[in-house]
Amino acid sequence: MIEPGATIGIVGGGQLGRMLAIAAAQLGYRCHVFDPHEAPCAAEVAAKHTRAAFDDQAALKAFAADCAVVTYEFENLPSAPLGVIDAAIRPSRRSLEVSQDRAEEKAFLESAGARVAPWRTVDSAADARAAFEALGGPVLLKTRRMGYDGKGQAWLSAADEAETAHEAIGRQPAVAEAKVAFDAEFSVIVGRGPDGATAAFPVPRNEHRDGILRHSIVPAGPLVAPHEAEAVRLATGIAAALDHVGVITIEFFACADGPLVNEFAPRVHNSGHWTIEGAETSQFEQHVRAICGLPLGPTGLTGARVVMDNLIGRDVEAWPALIAEPGAHLHLYGKGEARDGRKMGHVTRVSRRA
């Protein structure tokens, strides 16, 4: 067990790291952020910041020597250099590696008993055309690596579009996925401790626009409810198959014939921000508890209905009205410029009545 007072290392200094550091501080831990940027928003609320490239092994070693445990807040990290601090990392590099390559991720998910959209690997425009024909189009091309918030993706709605779509994703190694006819999107957020204990949060329904999460709503409602028990069972199995320690988030499509996994993130997730006020334990505290070997906290709802709205880009300009609204819990990430598509903050409302 890693006791309060110890230092937790966080690789990555974005808003997830920031909210992890705040939760860790509440339990008496100190945080040390590792991030190449000058003033990452997590470093503003942490005790220390190492500014170095993610593949700087000397800096990683010195960083790990200062920390009782090291975690990561995003998965697009080069994994091999982290090998020098393997013993300190929770969740392990396996969770990281499987999640950062969409082809490996899908093969793993299938082996863990989950259903995913029919897919093919794509290394050329000819492969994209063949995938379109084999999967009976339309298909979505997604780069195998480094994609997030709908980036590195292109739809292919006719075989003739193979060349353009492949060009649009920068001719990178990719997967092609059949278009899923879903009724809703939802996610299962599970904490898992080093002893294998697990606790799932109530399931949010997630609404996206332009590939970016806009709203999470709990309870998820009638389109998702029939899938929840099965999805939680699958998510718990996926966490166990990875021997994952920490929080893991599995994103699902609710389909007529059952839940289909879209992807997973080996970490706390935007669709779990509502847990800060809406659950008995926040996803951030749960992650700290799990990686430190503390007992997992209870995950029940604190109200009848919880809604989280993301503040993307200039949405953040609404902050004066939001701060004045009773019951609106405003979170601003302290980022400078409100660029289009940039996650600047979020607001959560917990209602007593459904």
63 vs 186 by CB, closer to ligand AMP:
186
32 vs 205 by CB, closer to ligand AMP:
205
198 closest CA partner among 261, 268, 250, 248: 248
User: Min. distance of Cβ 112 from ligand AMP in angstroms?
Assistant: 18
What token pair was written down for 223?
A: 């389109």
Question: Can you give the binding site for ligand AMP, defined by CB under 6 A?
Answer: 117, 140, 147, 150, 177, 179-180, 185, 208, 211, 262-263
User: Min. distance of Cβ 179 from ligand AMP in angstroms?
Assistant: 4
User: Min. distance of Cβ 64 from ligand AMP in angstroms?
Assistant: 31
334 closest CA partner among 46, 8, 47, 76: 46
146 vs 304 by CB, closer to ligand AMP:
146
User: Min. distance of Cβ 296 from ligand AMP in angstroms?
Assistant: 26
17 vs 147 by CB, closer to ligand AMP:
147
CA angle 50, 55, 60 (to 5 degrees): 45
User: Min. distance of Cβ 20 from ligand AMP in angstroms?
Assistant: 21
51 vs 208 by CB, closer to ligand AMP:
208
User: Min. distance of Cβ 153 from ligand AMP in angstroms?
Assistant: 6
User: CA–CA separation, 38 vs 222, rounded Å?
Assistant: 46
88 vs 178 by CB, closer to ligand AMP:
178
**CB 316 within 8 Å of CB 338:** yes
35 vs 177 by CB, closer to ligand AMP:
177
**CB 117 within 8 Å of CB 260:** yes
User: Min. distance of Cβ 79 from ligand AMP in angstroms?
Assistant: 20
6 closest CA partner among 291, 205, 351: 291
Q: Nearest-CB residue to ligand AMP?
A: 180
The upper half-sphere exposure of residue 171, i.e. CA atoms within 13 Å in the direction of its Cβ, equals 5
